[in-house]
Structure formats: C-alpha cells, structure tokens
Amino acid sequence: MRMVDIIEKKRDNHALNKKEIEFFVNGYVKGTIPDYQISSLMMAIYFNSMNEEETVHLTEAVLNSGETIDLSEIEGVKVDKHSTGGVGDKTTLVLGPLVASTGAKFAKLSGRGLGHTGGTLDKLESIKGFNIALSSNDFVKQVNDINIAVAGQTKSLAPADKLLYALRDVTGTVPSIPLIASSIMSKKLASGADVIVLDVKIGEGAFMKTLDDARELSRTMVKIGKAFGRKVVAFITDMSEPLGYSVGNKLEVVEAIQTLQGNGPADLHTLCLKIGSHLVHQAKITETLEEAEKMLKKKISSLEASDKFKSLIQAQDGEYPDLNDYIHVGNIVAVKSEKAGYVKSLNALEIGLSAMRLGAGRAAKDDEIDADVGIVLNKKVGDKVEEDEVLAYLYTNNKDISDEVKTVLKAYTLSDTEVPKKELILDIID
C-alpha cells in the first residue's frame, strides 16, 4: 500500500476503506509517513469530506493508536460530558459534583485551555494543592468511593489525535466536521465512559459558527457513539456571549461554587440542570428526565451538590477555597457604559481574548497563567444599562490595561429598545 495512492483516491472524492485509514494513521504515529503527505490528505478530506463509515473507521484508528482507559471496575453506569469549548464555560465544575451527588458515576478526563477558551484543568489547579495527575487505579478507586474524579489526559491516550490536530492547526484544515468529530470522539471513547453528553457551542465565542454546522457535527458524533455501543446525546448551546458572568480561573471556581449552592447565574444553572438530567437518567438513577431534574434541584437546595465538590477537592489533595479571601489582584478596573440603552449583543470572543491577554489564558502552549485575573461581567444581553453604569470589572495584575478597557467596551453593543434574552439551548440531538 502506498500513501500517494490514498491521497489520490481521496483527492478524486472516493471513500477510503478501513485498511487504508489504519495505514495512514499508524504510519504517521510511527513516523514512516511524512508530514507533507498527511497534510495533503487532510486537505483532500477538508474539501471532499468523509462519509459516515469512513469517519467511524478514522475514529477507531485514532482511538487504537494508544492506550484506552478501562473503567470496568467502576460499579454502575459511567457518565462523562464534553464541551467543544467556550468563554466562561465552567460547566464541568458544577455538573460533575451535581451529578455525582445523585449516585451517578462521573469519570472525566479533561484538558487545558488554549487561546480564548478556558480549560477545566487550569480552573481546578487554581485551587491550592489540587492534584490532576491520578493513576488509573486511583482514578477508578476514587470514582467508586465518592462517585467522581476529574483528572488530566495521559500522553498515551489517542496519540494520533495530538499529531493530526497539530498538523491541521498549521495547514488550515481544522474546520472539517469528520476530522473534528473523530478527534473529539476518539478521546471520549478512549476515556471509557458508557454515556457521553456533548455540549456543542455555536456563536462568536465558539468554534462552530452556524446552527446547521453544529447539527451536522452533533449528528456525526452521536452516530459514532452508537457505532461503538455508547449512548451519546449532543446539546447545541449558544456561545455568542459568555456563559455566566465570570471569565478567569479562580473567578470561575467561585461562580461554580455559588451555582452549586443555589446562587449562580441563571444560564449556567439551567444548562447544568438540563445536561445533568440526561446524565442522571441515562445512568439509570431515575426513570424519567423530569424526575432527574427534580432530584438535581433538591441536591442543590440541600447543599449535597456543594458538599460533593468539597469531597472532590479533598480527595485530590486540594484546599477548599475561602471565597472571602481567594482572589488576589493588584487592581480591579470598572468598565463603564458611555450611553444608556439595552445590551443587544456581547461578543464572547472579544471578552475571551481580553481575559487571555490579562493573563487568564494562553496564547501559546507554554504560556503561564495568572489564576487570579479575569473579567466579571455586570451586564449581559437583554439587560438595561444607564449612562456611566458598570458593564464589567477587569481583575488584573497589569499596570496598563487601557487597551483591554477599550476592547471590553467595544464588545458591548447597545440598543435603544428592549432586547429579549437569548435562548441558551438551541437543539438536542440524540
């Protein structure tokens, strides 16, 4: 078998078979197929796409390129959740303890943030002492003991995905639905969960920009899950404005704790209830989604969900934050509106990039994060604003942030007339 024949076959818009896909994935991991040939193939796939069978074969080949996590020793149905990335997306910090408090087994391997999107591991590591490096045995034991563990992905998990993504990133072939779907699902399948709920973000602050593309990606991933005997549900949710009010690692931990205590923002609270209901129901804790949602609300009001977060932090060697003495920054700068009106739009991408430049995120993989800094929004879409009223607060350790004040101000667009609140959940694909 020759790589050039595979390239020409896909160039001419023919489907690749399982052996051909295994050949180029394994060859690239072993180093026997060079970057320039894989780049050429990725571009051919970008233009000609892949059918459902090809996408399943690609997912399987990437999945089998490294180790998989064996969760068979965990009692009961194992559940997991994955987000395609957004601004202020601290859903896992709320959803994990909330679902685990019902008795469901929440076993999650997470990643770090890059660019304008934040990573769950970075948020958890902003908690003093929190250990994200669990061995497989400790991971399984912890889920059996307290129903939840959140740890970092190992380098041996789907190594082909890391290689392929790095190449796609520099060759302009990232926005390919079969390549995105196989990338996400190979890691999720390798992580071993029985039930996976996907949160597919669309809008300015997300990778997917249109509802049609988000639906196609969601359907593809649900079909991949079915092909591997897993239950997959995809939520398509709005990311044209940040989720919640806080953007930045410690700031988001605080907001997550407030949400678990019943005092969080409405959009984050609603999203966690809806996604959590599917996880709890699929874990066979309840017979219906309605019963699952009622149970989750009780776990919040009784503080059992909040207590479960404390148990997670303690189990992974962290110190539960004192919310009155947790954020330490040199300056908090108010961004004030120059006119009165109603918030018509709030550009999540600009807010995310501004928070990154303040130090809350990484422009490059080796950048250091300042866990204390970030942005706390005071107004969101639909809110009424008076002239000179605060739109947002910038938490910073930088002396000159005049450019970021201007960026955040421009991220807001005001209207003279009332603006309805945005729909958060746009579709559910199962």
Which are the catalytic amino acids?
82, 161, 168, 183, 187
CA separation for the pair 84, 100 (Å, rounded): 22
Q: Which two tokens stand for residue 393?
A: 């607060």
Q: Are 337 and 389 in contact (CB under 8 A)?
A: yes
- Residue 338 CA to residue 205 CA, distance in Å, equals 24
Cβ neighbours for 297, distance < 8 A, ≥ 6 positions apart: 273
H-type helices in 126-176, by residue range? 136-146, 159-171
d(CA 122, CA 102) in angstroms, rounded, equals 26
Closest by Cα among 275, 199, 265, 245 to 88: 245
Q: How far apart are CA 218 and CA 362, in angstroms?
A: 27
Q: By three-state DSSP, how is residue 312 classified? A: helix
| DSSP assigned state of 382 | T
Length of the chain in residues, anyone? 430
- Cα separation, 95 vs 197, whole angstroms: 11
